Amino acid sequence: MKFSLGWLKEHLDTAASAAEISARLNAIGLEVEGLENPADRLAGFTVARVISAERHPNADKLQVLSVDAGDGKPLQVVCGAPNARAGMIGVLGTPGAIVPGGGFELKVSAIRGVESNGMMCSVRELELGDEHDGILELPADAPVGMAFADYQGSDPVFDISITPNRQDCMGVRGIARDLAAAGLGTLRPLAEVYRMTALEPASGTGPAPDVATLDPHGCPAFYAQAISGVTNGTAPEWMRSKLASIGQKPISMLVDITNFISVDLGRPLHVYDRAKLAGPLVARRAKDGEQVETLNGKTYTLDATMTVIADDAMVHDIGGIMGGAHSGVSPETTEVLIECAYFDPEHIARTGQKLALTSDARQRFERGVDPAFLDDGLAIATWLVLEHCGGTASAITRAGRPPLEPRVVSYDTGLCERLGGITVAADEQRAILERLGFSVGADWSVTVPTWRRDIDGPPDLVEEVVRIHGLGNVASVALPRADGVARPTATPAQKLERKLRRAAAARGLNEAVTWSFLPEADAAQFADGTLRQAQGERSGLWLLQNPISEDMKAMRPSLLPGLLSAVARNLDRGAAGLRLFELGRRYLRGDAGRSDERLTLGVVLAGENIPRGWDSGKAATFGAFDAKAEALALLAEAGVPTGSLQVAGEAGDQFHPGQSATLRLGPKTVLARFGMLHPAVLKHFDIAVPVAAVELFLDAIPARKAASFARAAYAPPALQAVTRDFAFLVDASLPAGDLVRAVRFADKANIVGARLFDDFRGAGVPEGQKSLAIEVTLQPGDKSFNEAELKAIAERVTAAAAKLGAVLRG
């Protein structure tokens, strides 16, 4: 919402400066987003007299002027304007000045061989209008040497942001009213502002126009007055300059009047060319499919939920939003009908949203205009038309009834302190409310002014009192501290998330935060598969209806695609090896149409693991075991007994079928998947290096039972552990992990560890078999093992291995 200081002062009698007004506007909740003084842009421009004008020696269309800028030192200026002549007074821009209409800086220059020390400016160059046929000519008594900004007078323009609750401030008058309430001046009577003798409807002579409302919900009230014999000329200077100051183009008297009243009073009106209407004008619901061409030149197709103003022939107005092109006024218009209606705010909002059509009228109606201002609005509009366009007014038709039921709030002045935290004397509260237009009963029943649709309860009144009294006066009060031992404020899941994030970074991984939404094709790569079903998850991507672009359409079903895109970008920038992780949600479908958002940790290890080195030789790329190491290390940090995990099952279609697996706790609970990604997936993401990946499903990690701080009792064994090596021949297809587990648990009393240290195929090992060597750690209890005991343990190990077809190598 824009308005100039001069415009505001039409309503507000104040001596305050623009800066003071700006500060007070901010303080009362009318946020000043901009305060611009057009005079600031006219620095370096001076009122100057042309002393002489000679033909340019080298150019027919140019003249060489001698200009007096008031300092007694005539300046030579080359000028192309046909109206430049000796004796005229204009505006001189001197070197260093920036031309507002062109944005360029003036410099001393040579034009066709003649030095020019500035520029005589046109109206357009000074951004005072469009005229550019010649230089601006000022009256003969304009004081030569005066800064043009001072001559022109300065009228700073405010740009304030109006919150959706304050329709009353979508007019300059409402802002003036708020400022007056805040003690920054007095509000002038409206009749005085419009130079009317009294704020009364024009007494009409002709018959009242035939209008009606057939849609009491969408358009509860439709007031109208006709005026005959008008001349739709140019609006008066005071109106045009005000509209121009806020960037609105003057169009014609009748249009400017409605625009002016809309900005000045927050009251939208519509003026019809009555000659273009056929029969009575009614507010009614549109018919499905009915069309109207509006003033913005577009055609809209309407439906039965929308309210329109129509005659017998066609729709002339999308009620409260935008008028129709057919019956709009033109310079030839002589017969007009002024509509001053009340449209239901919710109704307007829905229609506007459906049509994706915004307008100044919609903005005001959907926030709720003053339902008690129909008569006054119409009176002012008619007054202005009669004053400036002539003609005779008809009687007024008042169809329907605006919603005028007064709202009364019973208020307790103590609430100001209880909710607002500030003590304001009852008298002052009453005075503030009354200055804002509330009427306050002796029993503190407060009647809300008709223009304050947003007020509906005591807290609203507290807000009014506090904002006018000054929020700056609210003192800080410490929140009471809870007694007793502080409880942790993070849940176990949150603690786990924090710990894993730092564990991953401590392992050398860089945390990334990537978009929650992906291109559908990227998401689809990770959408389905056997893994999902194994986890009992519902399939189907969440797809946005109105994505910002197709690249941000599908909610990620996995953290890997987003990380892979980041990998691709980094590789493009020349990175050789990448270790990225992200800890965030993946989005699945839950019960009853809800979302199922599961915390996940994704890791990608791409390209070089170890760069070529003086001691390590050639660069080494990441492999599946790097992914396995990360998965196990992070699960261990999460408190998972990694020794009991099974490496099994398919990790999913996105992974290399032979170099990936899941980590399961029991047959069903998949805690993680890891391995090399499938080359087809990498190709989809334009990645040309191998990528190992891990996905940790944090939601699947079993919660640890609440335990006390004390650990289980433990004393390091007195006797040293001993190790024994076993080498077995097994079928080449036997998973080594199976053999290690068999050995590890062959003698639970004595074996505390089993570690595979060799996997060999080739010379000495029969075709189709492999040799696996395992180091077994034995822990003696009270006394050392004797030979017989060691032999018995070895036999148990061999027997357990034999169940898997393993044969001890001799």
Partner 1 sequence: MIEESTLPALAEIECAATLEALEALRVGTLGKSGSITTLVKTLGAMSDEERRTKGPLIHAIRTTVADAITARKAALEGAALAEQLARDTLDLTLPAADRPRGSIHPVSQVMDELAEIFADLGFAVATGPEIEDDWHNFTALNIPESHPARAMHDTFYFPESDLAQGGKTGPEGGRMLLRTHTSPVQIRSMLEHGAPLRIIAPGRVYRSDSDATHTPMFHQVEGLVIDKGIHLGHLKWTLETFLKAFFEREDIVLRLRPSYFPFTEPSVEVDVGFALVNGKRVLGGSGDAPGHGWMELLGSGMVGRTVIAAGGLDPDVWQGFAFGVGVDRLAMLKYGMDDLRAFFDGDVRWLAHYGFSPFDVPTLSAGVGTAA
Shortest Cβ distance from residue 421 to partner 1 (Å)? 3
d(CA 211, CA 319): 14
The verdict on 479 binding partner 1 (CB under 8 A) reads: yes
Q: Which of 129, 206, 441, 459 binds partner 1 (CB under 8 A)?
A: 459
Q: Is 687 in the site for partner 1 (CB under 8 A)?
A: no
Scanning residues 483 to 542, which ones bind partner 1 (CB under 8 A)?
486, 488-491, 494, 498, 501-517, 542
**Is the separation of the CB atoms in 210 and 280 below 8 Å?**
yes
* 68: nearest Cα among 42, 88, 83, 95: 88
Q: Least distance (Å) from partner 1 to the CB of residue 580?
A: 6
Closest CA to 367 of 385, 383, 387, 344: 344
Separation CA 77–CA 56 (nearest Å): 11
Distance CA(603)–CA(166), nearest Å, equals 50
Helix 172-181 × helix 253-265 angle, to 10°: 30
Using CB under 8 A as the binding rule, the residues of this chain from 323 to 352 that contact partner 1 are 345-347, 349-350
* Residue-wise burial string across 213-245, b where 16 or more C-beta atoms lie within 10 A, e elsewhere: bebeebbbbbbbbbbeebebeebeeebbbbbeb
Encode 372-408 in three state secondary structure: CCHHHHHHHHHHHHHHHHCCEEEEEEEEECCCCCCCE
Verify binding: residue 578, partner 1, rule CB under 8 A.
yes
Q: Interface mask (CB under 8 A) for partner 1, residues 609-638, using x and -?
A: -xx-xxxx----------------------
Site membership for partner 1, residue 418 (CB under 8 A) = yes
Q: Residue 355, Cβ neighbours under 10 Å: how many?
A: 19
Residue 552 binding partner 1, by CB under 8 A: yes
* 433 near partner 1, rule: CB under 8 A: no
Which CB atom, from 132 or from 502, has the smaller least distance to partner 1? 502
Tokens standing for 661?
A: 């697996």
- Closer to partner 1 at the Cβ: 404 or 513? 513
Provide, rounded to whole angstroms, the least separation between the CB of residue 185 and partner 1. 19
Q: Quote the least distance from Cβ 589 to partner 1, whole Å.
A: 9
Binding to partner 1 (CB under 8 A) within 146-205 occurs at 163-166
Report whether 800 contacts 746 (CB < 8 A).
Answer: yes
DSSP 17: -
Q: Which is nearer to partner 1, 552 or 765 (CB)?
A: 552
Q: Sheet harboring 89-93: ordered strands across? A: 75-79, 59-68, 45-56, 89-93, 119-120
The count of residues interacting with partner 1 (CB under 8 A) is: 100
Asked whether the beta carbons of 408 and 456 are under 8 A apart, the reply is: no
Closer residue to partner 1 (CB): 544 or 807:
544
Build a one-symbol-per-residue string for 8-37: x at contacts with partner 1 by CB under 8 A, - elsewhere.
------------------xxxx-x------
Residue 411, interface with partner 1 (CB under 8 A)? no
Strands across the sheet containing 281-285: 211-213, 281-285, 307-310, 315-318, 322-323
Choice from 148, 411, 438, 587 touching partner 1 (CB under 8 A): 587
CA torsion sign for 191, 195, 198, 200 is: negative
Question: What distance in Å separates the CA atoms of residue 165 and residue 454, rounded to the nearest whole number?
Answer: 6
Distance CA 134, CA 141 (A): 20
Identify which range of 139-147, 148-156, 464-472, 674-682 contacts partner 1 by CB under 8 A.
Answer: 464-472
3-state secondary structure of 746: coil
Tokens of 269: 């009106």
- Confirm or reject binding of residue 544 to partner 1 (CB under 8 A): yes
3 state SS for 537-550: CECCCCECCCCCCH
> Is 783 a residue that touches partner 1 (CB under 8 A)?
no
Residue 221 CB, nearest distance to partner 1 (Å)? Answer: 19
Q: Per CB under 8 A, which of residues 28..87 are in contact with partner 1?
A: 28-29, 31
Is 580 a residue that touches partner 1 (CB under 8 A)? yes
Identity (one letter) of the amino acid at 11?
H
CB of 29 to partner 1, least distance (A): 3
- Helix count (H) and strand count (E) of the chain? 21, 40
Closest approach of partner 1 to the CB of residue 673, in Å: 21
Residue among 241, 231, 225 nearest 377 (CA): 225
Residues numbered 638-677 forming contacts with partner 1, rule: CB under 8 A: none
Contact partners, residue 427, CB within 8 Å, separation at least 6: none
The nearer residue to partner 1, 336 or 559, going by C-beta atoms, is 559
Kindly state the smallest distance separating residue 583's Cβ from partner 1, in Å: 8
Closest distance to partner 1 from the beta carbon of 314 (Å): 27
Q: How far apart are the first and last CA of the chain?
A: 94
Q: DSSP label at 162? A: P
Question: Counting contacts by CB under 8 A, is residue 481 touching partner 1?
Answer: yes
**Please, which residue, 186 or 353, has the CB nearer to partner 1?**
353
- Residue with token string 């609970």: 669
Q: Shortest Cβ distance from residue 622 to partner 1 (Å)? A: 12
Query: Minimal CA–CA distance to 645: which of 624, 673, 622?
Result: 673
- Asked whether 352 and 150 are in contact (CB, 8 A), the reply is no
Least distance in Å: CB of 558 to partner 1?
A: 15
Q: Which stretch binds partner 1 (CB under 8 A): 266-274, 444-452, 479-487, 642-650?
A: 479-487
235-274 positions binding partner 1, by CB under 8 A: none
- Nearest to partner 1 of 398, 501 (CB atom): 501
The 353-372 site mask, x for binding partner 1 (CB under 8 A), equals x------------xx-----
Closer CB to partner 1, 32 or 734, in the complex: 32
Q: Provide the minimum distance between the beta carbon of 396 and partner 1 in the complex, in angstroms, as a whole number.
A: 30
Nearer to partner 1, 60 or 591 (CB): 591
DSSP 187: E
Among 72, 153, 247, 472, binds partner 1 (CB under 8 A): 472
Which is closer to partner 1, CB of 508 or CB of 658?
508
